Chains A and B, each alone.
Chain A
Amino acid sequence: MSPPGRPKGEYRSAQHEGDLMSPPGTTPVIRHAAARGAVALGSGAVFGVGLSVAQMTDPRKVLAFLDVAGAWDASLLFVMGGAVLLAAAAFRVVLRRQAPVFDLRFHLPIATRLDARLVTGSVLFGIGWGLAGYWPGPAFASLGLANPEANWFVPALVAGAVLQRWRARRSP
């Protein structure tokens, strides 16, 4: 059962937990679905271009950054530092708004406690990162660069995330 008079451009989603203004028992509705998709596509494209211009899609470059005892390559530090500075400035401006343009409220993390999940997850991720030289962003960008390594890495990445979610649902 959907709420009457659903505006044009909205579609149903059973999973989305974002801007649900529908009464309980009705089908949730996502507002501005097309605009949100366009923003996601644009953001992803900018992120992908940024990563490949900065050569962060080259695992040799990434491992050269992590190899502090070898021929250290500081590139990643500047990429990440630049991104953090720009994001910090942008967050200050954007978060002054009451809500995003295409959503009813911001969805910022609410957790503040340093828990075991954060620690264990970060360490496991770091081990995988140091092993092959990819983190999720460049791994997906590498698909677009026709890098054959992505054909091994990306399915394993998805499988790992699915396994974690499945285990978390069974024993929260």
Chain B
Amino acid sequence: MARAVRRRPDAGAAAWQAVSPQASPRTGFPAWALVLAGLLVGYGTSMAGGCTSHGVCGIARFSLRSAVATALFLSAGIATTFAMRHLLHFWT
């Protein structure tokens, strides 16, 4: 069972897609940005001890560490999006 979870962590979404198809995927987004973003998200969440673990579970347990982590990744996300869209005009 645990092996099945590791093999198909996406089972819920796959079932949902069969019932109710989602909006078509974004196209034309550069692969280098996906890879760079993936590396940063993987490295950062591993180092900080989670994403949902802080943003949902930690805040729900009134953890100060989680509140700080959530404020930081939200701020960094907003700043990066602002820079890419409105300063560098990489994409809209």
**Given A131-B80, A134-B41, does the pair A41, B58 have CB atoms closer than 8 Å?**
no
A159 touches B86 (CB 8 A): no
Q: What separation, in Å, do the CA atoms of A92 and B81 have in the docked complex? A: 36
The 5 tightest CB contacts between A and B, nearest first, are A126-B76, A160-B42, A156-B38, A48-B12, A37-B1
Q: Of the candidates B38, B72, B77, which one forms a contact with A153 in the assembled complex, judged by CB atoms under 8 Å apart?
A: B38
Residues of B near A168 (CB, < 8 A) are: 47
Residues of A near B79 (CB, < 8 A) are: 126, 130
- Chain A facing B: main interface SS: helix
| A99: Cβ under 8 A from any B Cβ | no
Residues of A near B75 (CB, < 8 A) are: 126
- 20 intermolecular pairs with C-beta atoms under 8 Å apart: A37-B5, A45-B12, A48-B16, A70-B85, A85-B60, A114-B65, A121-B47, A121-B48, A121-B49, A127-B77, A128-B36, A128-B40, A136-B45, A140-B10, A142-B10, A142-B25, A146-B17, A157-B39, A157-B41, A159-B38
Residues of B near A158 (CB, < 8 A) are: 42
- Size of the B side of the interface (Cβ < 8 Å), in residues, is 69
Query: What is B's interface to A at a CB cutoff of 8 Å?
Result: 1-5, 8-17, 22-23, 25-26, 29, 31, 33-49, 51-52, 54-65, 68-70, 72-82, 84-86
- List A134-157 residues whose CB lies under 8 Å from chain B: 134-137, 139-149, 152-157
